[in-house]
Amino acid sequence: MEPERDQDTPEPSVPPGEERAAKEALEQGCAAPSAGEGHRRWGKVAGSFDEEQFLQGPQARLQELWRTLRIGREFLRGFRNLHFAGPCVTVFGSARFQEGNRWYTLAREMGGRLARAGFTVVTGGGPGIMEAANRGAKEAGGRSVGMNIVLPREQGPNPYLDRFIEFNYFFVRKVMLVKYSYAFVVLPGGFGTMDEIYETAVLIQTGKIEDFPLVLMGTDYWRPLLDFMEGPMVRSGTIEAADFDRILATDDPDQAMACILGTVTTRFGLKWQPSDQPQPRKVLAEKEV
């Protein structure tokens, strides 16, 4: 029998005999940072009540059923919005780089190059690298899609989007960022960007998705990470050399585009022909991006 959760269950206290260890841990910095202005700006504050409950183990059965339906509805909304997006390339990177930064400039150029090649440029929909890639796509006359995540006091969508979709759950958003893309371009970023790198690399490594191009741009920024993967990880056997070789590290847009176009056209046989693409149906209230 599944246990029912008591909504009024008090917070667990420190186990007897562990007070000293807990105090020492706090003194050594093992505690959450205060929610100052920088943390509020980037969403690093307590989540909603529903999000807190989501990871608290078994819930009431009806509550679990309702949450499952909400997650399913969020997936379905993403599928319907992106069904006619065409061949996509997802660009990952930090929200914190502003116009004038060299990575912003590079992302903007890559967005334009991808759009001119016929790809729909997909990003997380926020500022920084995401804005730059979407901006480059729009300036080149291409299609631009943003998939944001709802966070407390998080940034809004950038102004260079043809289609903007918001998600409540990170895992739903990550599925959408991968599902429709033939390649992944990664510029400098933080924890979220690293999560996206490894998420994509694992899916390719395990054969869950095809061996799509994974391009890291900003080689001096990523060099310590690349050295770690090529060195200790390969030497220890935790990954194979072939896993590392799947990643292209370059600062050259020409090399990045050659890798992407060469792979998707020769290996996957992608063709940009309207007859090959599904067409929207008015009866389903569908429309193109």
Give the tens place of pLDDT for each residue, 51-80: 666 667 777 888 889 888 999 999 999 998
Alpha-carbon span 156 to 138, nearest angstrom? 18
Residue 149 in any domain: the answer is yes
263-274 per-position pLDDT tens digit: 988 777 777 654
Residue 239 in any domain: the answer is yes
DSSP string, 245-262: HTEEE-S-HHHHHHHHHH
Per the structure block, which two tokens stand in for 94? 């930090």
The pLDDT tens digits along the chain (289 residues) read 444 444 444 444 555 555 665 566 555 555 545 445 444 444 444 455 566 666 677 778 888 898 889 999 999 999 988 888 889 999 999 999 999 999 999 999 999 999 999 999 999 999 999 999 999 999 999 999 999 887 765 568 999 999 999 998 889 999 999 999 999 999 999 999 999 999 999 999 999 988 899 999 999 999 999 999 999 999 999 999 999 999 999 999 999 999 999 998 877 777 765 445 566 666 565 666 6
Residue 236 in any domain: the answer is yes
Mean pLDDT over the full length of the chain? 82
* pLDDT the model gives residue 60: 83
Residue 20 in any domain: the answer is no
Alpha-carbon span 125 to 131, nearest angstrom? 7
Looking at the whole model, is its pTM more than 0.85?
no
Phi–psi pair at 261, nearest 5 degrees = -65, -40
Give helix then strand counts, H and E, for the chain.
12, 7
Give the range of the structural domain holding residue 160, as residue numbers without chain letter. 75-270+279-284
Other beta carbons within 10 Å of 211: 12
Q: How many domains does the chain have?
A: 1
Residue 64 in any domain: the answer is no
Q: Name the 3-class secondary structure at 180.
A: coil
Residue 85 in any domain: the answer is yes
Looking at the DSSP bridge assignments, the partners of residue 163 are: 145
Alpha-carbon span 43 to 126, nearest angstrom? 13
Cα–Cα distances in angstroms (integers) from residue 51 to residues 47, 54, 85, 150, 226, in the given order: 6, 5, 30, 11, 34
Residue 197 in any domain: the answer is yes
CATH number of 257's domain: 3.40.50.450
- Give 188's contacts (C-beta < 8 A, 6+ positions apart): 93, 94, 97, 103, 129, 218, 221, 222
Residue 188 in any domain: the answer is yes
